[in-house]
Amino acid sequence: MKLRKETEAGEIHGKWYEDACGAAFAMELIGERWSLLVVRELMLGGRRFSDIRASLPGISAKVLTERLERLESAGIVVRTLSEPPASVQLYDLTEWGRAAEPLIQELGRWAVRSPLHDPTLPMTPVALMLSMRTMLVVEKAEKLALTALFEVGQDRFLGRLEDGALSFTRLGTDAVETDLTFKAPTAGDFLPVLYGKVPPDTPGMRIEVTGERDLAGAFIDLFVLPPKIR
């Protein structure tokens, strides 16, 4: 009698490790190279194949196709259509797939404590938004409520801070009214300001901040990296 569940992709649990541990199964689901990053890039909503690949320039079209098919067969990713009139095929996370965000957050908190972590490497706009959700100091955030527009290159996100929680929605080109606006060419340009607490108007900074200065300062103060290991 077979106890393992079989899918169209064949046996998944036990394929690599022959281990009943849930952590082992998680690695079989999203531990293959690129899989977790594909899940990360879908965490703020469905995206086209070309958009996912553009966010992950190191992945080939063949490998991305294989990863999406495997994630879909595992019940993590689902194909949808965008709203009319475009009706473009999108890849999105299932409800269960979206529940992986706390895993990504805990991995991020754990990994950035290493002295080997290099913050100067490229970062995607979605990764930046998830980083802010991860490094938010909830106790401080509970005292503040605001909306903020984040423009990272061509990507735009609406952030809402309320009741100690920070949420993000991907935006198109429509104008929105917000309390604050943060704009920079790349995600990496945000890091010295958010985590290094370098004032945005410091010479050499490539980030523009619009809005009430004290409110912007209070918002930036909400993000703190965990201490490095010794």
Class of residue 21 by CB neighbours under 10 A (exposed 0-12, middle 13-18, buried 19+): exposed
Cα–Cα distances in Å, from 10 out to 6, 84, 101? 6, 35, 26
Model pLDDT, residue 27: 95
Same domain membership, residue 132 and residue 68: no
Q: Which residues contact 121 (CB under 8 A, 6 or more apart)?
A: none
Stretches where the chain sits below pLDDT 50 are 1-10
- Contacts by 214-220 with C-beta closer than 8 Å and gap 24+? 215/146, 215/179, 215/180, 216/180, 218/144, 219/144, 219/146, 219/148, 219/161, 219/180, 220/193, 220/194
The token duo for 206 is: 């490539």
Same domain membership, residue 159 and residue 75: no
Of the residues 99, 124, 149, the one at which a domain ends: 99
Give the structural domain span for 140: 116-220
With respect to residue 56, please indicate whether it lies within any of the assigned structural domains: yes
Model pLDDT, residue 83: 80
DSSP states of 84-140 as a string? TTT--EEEEE-HHHHTTHHHHHHHHHHHTTSTT--TTS---HHHHHHHHHHHB-HHH
Q: Which residues contact 40 (CB under 8 A, 6 or more apart)?
A: 104, 124, 126, 127, 130
Q: For residue 153, give the amino acid letter.
A: G
With respect to residue 109, please indicate whether it lies within any of the assigned structural domains: no
The token duo for 163 is: 């009741």
Same domain membership, residue 134 and residue 164: yes
Same domain membership, residue 151 and residue 86: no
- In which element (H, E) is residue 201 found? none
Same domain membership, residue 126 and residue 208: yes
Q: What is the CATH number of the domain that holds 193?
A: 3.30.1050.10
Of the residues 99, 128, 153, the one at which a domain ends: 99
With respect to residue 8, please indicate whether it lies within any of the assigned structural domains: no
Q: What is the CATH number of the domain that holds 19?
A: 1.10.10.10
